[in-house]
Structure 1
Amino acid sequence: MISVEEALRIILEESKALEGEEKNILSCLNKVLAEDIYSRDNLPPFDKSAMDGYAIKSEDTDLYKDGVSIELEIVDLIKAGESSDKELKNGQAMKIMTGAPVPEGANAVIQIEKVEVREDTLHISEKVKNGCNVIKLGEEIKVGDIALRKGTLIRPTEIGVLASLGYSKIKVPRNPVVSILTTGDELVEINETPKFGQIRNSNEYSLKALIQNLGLEALSFGIVEDKKDTLKSKVKEALEKSDIVITSGGASVGDFDFVEQVLNEINADIKFQSVAIKPGKPISFAVIDKKLFFSLPGNPLSAITTFEEFVKPACEKMLGKNMESDNTFPVILAEDFKEKEGRSKYIYVKIKAENGKLYAYKAGSQSSNQLITMSKANGIIIMPEGIGYKKAGEVLSGKFIFK
């Protein structure tokens, strides 16, 4: 067995961002840029008012003394989206709305709340600095500057930046195609009534949902019978049609577990076949002609855990996302937790915020076939390798799941 950290390092080393494709900006939410975005404009494209108020010459207020207001003649009104064809002269002011162009000759804007108006005369009772409440041309960004760098995560704010610069389409890495093969003669379709010894094929649907949760589409090959030649044929077909192939089940060393034999026969570069994680020990990872292959355990808890810990990061790396950040955080144990010593243990729990801190509560049995426990949980805590017992009040690393 190799450690979780080593397994993830190997996977990310083999996962490469896919080639870029041009898409409408609204189709790029939560993706990353595959190119630098340069500004096509100065933002703002003119000196504009940051406030509703009055455009003035700041030097007109230099002579202000306590108790004696400065009086200026109001000569125009400038609405947002309009401009004045007049040049402001000393002793004059123009009423101006937020976002409107500052008129020629003006160098400051005083807020409407700070003045008095009597007929067409503006009364100012303070000194106003040059540039006050004026957003200068190009202050936000200038033509030719880099607005967004390659690799930037596209959030709603970045969509707004792109729209403000006139970009309706941009390049983002192509979505990886992910194939799913669920193996096992004991499996039946979910709309069938299982006979004695059979179970419904829940893994196919869990894995599809996990893939869709990443904004990707899954290509499902359905239930694959426990025959080596059948599995080999389906794996080869899946490799032709996708960037990542996932099998569920058939990863152990039983008489009808054929994944390892198939990988050897198709000359796969097997990187590892066992990881020190519980649940999920019998996970294999291989590379075939730059395609990624994951063989996940058949037990539902194990399949979902290994997908989240190993397949999801590979998908995100292929989408061009930055994989350097750690998404774990400290969680205080609200109860004693006891597990077998040995592998790193991923324990499904209920994480609750109490008095500004996060606490972990038991969610139920951690048996690898317990989907019900997982449905009650909203996070996991990680019991480190070699440790089997932690008391209430101690702290472990945790994270929320399926976000």
Structure 2
Amino acid sequence: MTNPENNNKEYINDKFQRSALQVAEAQARLKPYAALLTHEEVPLTCSSGRYLAQPVYAPHPFPAFDRSSMDGFAVIAADTSAAGELNTVWLEVVEVIPCGAVASREITRGTAARIMTGAQVPGGADTVIMLEATESRIEDGVTYVGIRRPLEAGKHITPCGLELSTGDPVLPEGKLIGAGDIAVLAALGVPDVPVRRRPKVAVFATGSELLEVDEPLAPGKIRNSNSPMLEALIREAGGEPVRLGAIMDDLELARSRVQMALESYDLVLTTGGVSVGDYDIMGDLVREQTGDMLFNKIAMRPGSVTTAAVRGGTLLLALSGNPGACFVGFQLFARPVIGWMQGAAQPFLPEWTARLGAEYKRVDRFTRFVRARLEIREGVLYAYPAAVDESSVTVTIKDSDCLIIIPPDSGQLSAGDKVTVLKLPGEIRG
């Protein structure tokens, strides 16, 4: 993601020893620790949504032979030069070639072959005339085709190698495989596809106030919505989530459980406990001198308390416990890490330009990432900020197609102003 600001100024809060990095700098600090995972081969039918571990080159021309693009007759163009409305040229039909068959003889002057769409054009023929433009007759058991207009050579023939020549690059390393890619791989005879292993991502929630989804509400408690949200986001990014439950506000317990996860998984995500409260244990845990802390404050809203550290070579990314901030933090930091681990050619959310659909008054000294709904009107893309975009708000996450980037101290923005948006995965629903 490009930096929405022109400088890389750091904001320092001495009380909590926090230095607020710009988003791009924080992302850059994560990248060296997002180790590229090994590759594995999966069946073609299981490769959708995976990242290619090696480039793919055409093993043969495609199409592999000259093929007819019409139901009709394969003929020699020169045989039709005298054809016209008043002069029908008659050619002897010497063979019928269905799709999948190969002609048993070449076409010579004065002869033709009945051919079906997709069939290999017989040797000697250099053009195909569609069935509807011919007439036929049978004399003494011999079939003839009549043609009343001259033909050009190469008509209705898809030549060998039109789409690909042998050795042509087909798909690059790091490509996210989709349905079209699978069609091409199948056509080229690739039954097993080399892909990067999916990272196994451990997910913890912290907080004594958390209830599981199936538990009834109790005074002072809330249900743990972040963990299932993160599971879905991890899968969406191509990872394999491993949910390890919630951790009470107990530093010793958190230390042991997180250490176990760091030794067992490719990436560890936590949500909650990274602020400056008395019971924010993840902040305390990350500040311990048992590894490298990459950052513990970002110059952004929401999610400024997002924290990252390295323990034993494994990344620990501690996201805010506020659902909106957790969601944004994942998109900006966890998503690219999961992508880098798989060699993704495009690990970041795509940046688009849109028109602001409604005025936006909120001003901040940090960059804001505002949940928004996209809508296309008369060919113009509009982004409508969520009515309530507080970091603690959950419901507006479901209505968001994008995040509007609001630069710091940008002042009030009016409807119609151009803004940069980060397009979230999925279709535009507005």
Instruction: Name the TM-score class by shorter chain.
Output: over 0.9
Residues 226 and 256 of structure 1 are in contact (CA less than 8 Å); yes or no, is this contact kept in structure 2?
A: yes
Write the distance in 1 (CA, Å) between the matches of 2:169 and 2:179: 19
Shift of 1:64: 4.4
- 1:84 is paired with a residue whose SS is coil
1:242-261 CA distance string (max 9 Å, x none): 11101111112222223244
1:365 aligns with 2:365: no
Deviations along 1:319-369, whole A, 9 cap, x unmatched?
221127761222222322111321111122232222222223343222211
Q: Deviations along 1:102-143, whole A, 9 cap, x unmatched?
A: 223222212223333344332323332333322334444455
User: Aligned in 2, Cα 1:268/1:23: closer, same or farther, shift over 3 Å?
Assistant: same
Aligned to 1:47: 66
Provide the residue aligned with 1:276 in structure 2: 299
- TM-score with structure 1 length normalisation? 0.92
Which of 399, 402, 411 is the equivalent residue of 1:379? 402
Q: Structure 1 residues 196, 348: closer, same or farther in 2, change over 3 A?
A: same
| Whole-Å separation in 2 of the counterparts to 1:359 and 1:102 | 52
Amino acid paired to 1:8:
Q
1:125-164 paired onto structure 2 within 5 Å: 125-164=148-187
Query: Of residues 357, 363, 373 in structure 2, which corresponds to 1:350?
Result: 373
Secondary structure of the equivalent of 2:255? Answer: helix
- Between stretches 316-325 and 361-370, larger displacement belongs to 316-325
Residue 204 of structure 2 corresponds to 181
Paired position in structure 1 for 2:47: 28
Alignment partner, residue 389 of structure 1: 412
Once residues 337 and 264 of structure 1 are traced to their aligned partners in structure 2, the CA distance between those partners, rounded to angstroms, is: 37
Hey, what's the Cα distance between the residues in 2 that align with 1:330 and 1:298?
30
Distance 2:319 2:64 in 1: 55
**1:33-84: CA deviations, max 9, x gaps?**
1123344444333332122111111221234467434322222211111222
For 1:49 and 1:375, how far apart are their aligned partners in 2? 50
**CA 1:139–1:375: 2 relative to 1, 3 Å:** closer
Q: Does 1:301 align with 2:301?
A: no
C-alpha contact (below 8 Å) 1:344/1:383 kept by paired residues: yes
The one-letter amino acid of 1:227's match is: D
Alignment match of 1:200 (pick from 213, 218, 223):
223
Structure 1 outlier segments of 4+, above 6 Å: none
SS of the equivalent of 2:324 reads: helix
Sort the Cα spacing of 1:325 and 1:127 in 2 relative to 1 into closer, same or farther, 3 A. farther
Q: Does 1:249 pair with 2:268? A: no
Structure 1: runs of 5+ lacking an equivalent: none
> Which ranges in structure 2 are unaligned for 5 or more consecutive residues?
1-19
| CA drift at 1:13 | 4.1
1:285, distance to aligned residue in structure 2 (A): 1.6
Which secondary structure state, in structure 2, belongs to the residue aligned with residue 271 of structure 1? strand
User: Contact 1:232/1:262 (CA < 8 Å) preserved in 2?
Assistant: yes
Q: Which secondary structure state, in structure 1, belongs to the residue aligned with residue 90 of structure 2?
A: strand
2: CA distance between counterparts of 1:335 and 1:47? 57
Q: Aligned letter for 1:97?
A: M
Structure 2 counterpart SS, 1:229:
helix
Q: How far apart, in 1, do the equivalents of 2:87 and 2:348 lie?
A: 59
Query: Does 2:56 match 1:37?
Result: yes
